[in-house]
Amino acid sequence: MRGAGGRDRGRGDGGARAGGRGGGEVRRGQRARDAPQRPFLRREPGGPVTGSGGPLVVLDGTMGVGKSTVGRLLADRLGVGYRDSDDDIVAGQGRAVSDIFVEDGEPAFRALEKEAVRRALAEHGGVLALGGGAVLDADTRALLAAPPVVYLSMDVEEAVRRTGLNAARPLLAVNPRKQWRELMEARRHLYEEVATAVVATDGRTPEEVTQAVLDAVELKEA
């Protein structure tokens, strides 16, 4: 994503440009071929948008793509709560994600992540952001068949620009650029598998991406 007034340099990651204000490039995810049901949305006078159960929208994608920033903006626009599965894990364990990886190992973290995502999908009715590796679990992917899921995508050049690929990320400790590419090669098809829409974030502001997500999953006031 870019700051206000920056040059729009998004690649052709999407097949169609979203309508509405500041729409980013958007294309249908693999799940869209099955014509998934949209949640029934309504707004009580003076109240928030509500749906038929479960999250109104789930944000997915690799580390550093901006899920937390866009998720909070979406929640504010819709008047609903925001939840992050990684935040739930940190709160429950009293340790940072990177510390859990180092001290307990990746399998232990993935078990915690699976349970955190399951609980959030069952309990939360607003905007939910997932950790970048949540889609690795087959049971989690099955649960993601119900809510609208938007995959926020970016290329490696954008990842370098945003994070430098030198932040404290346990899976990118050695040769981060190469490892990021390998992670995406392993995960991209899984992000696509669960997605109802794919929104490219390259060169776009958080506000533009937020509007594109709203347009992509038709989250508008009834």
**How far apart are alpha carbons 184 and 187 in whole angstroms?**
5
* Number of domains the chain is built from: 1
Q: Does 222 fall in a domain?
A: no
CA-based nearest residue to 178, from 197, 156, 207, 198? 156
pLDDT computed for residue 203 by the predictor: 87
Structure confidence at residue 179 (pLDDT): 77
46 domain residue, yes or no: yes
Secondary structure class of 78 (helix, strand, coil):
helix
Average pLDDT along the chain, 222 residues, taken 10 residues at a time: 41 35 55 47 44 84 92 96 98 96 95 98 97 96 95 83 57 64 88 95 93 86 38
Q: Report pLDDT for 157.
A: 75
Tell me the chain's radius of gyration from C-alpha atoms. Answer: 17
Give the domain range for residue 94. Answer: 16-216
Does residue 191 sit within a domain? yes
pLDDT for res 48 = 46
pTM listed for this prediction: 0.76
The verdict on residue 5 lying in a domain is: no
Residues 6 or more apart whose CB falls under 8 angstroms from that of 109 comprise: 89, 97, 100, 101
**Residue 2 within a domain:** no
CATH code, domain carrying 156: 3.40.50.300
Determine, yes or no, domain membership for 8: no
Task: Please list the residues that pair with 49 across neighbouring strands.
Answer: 43
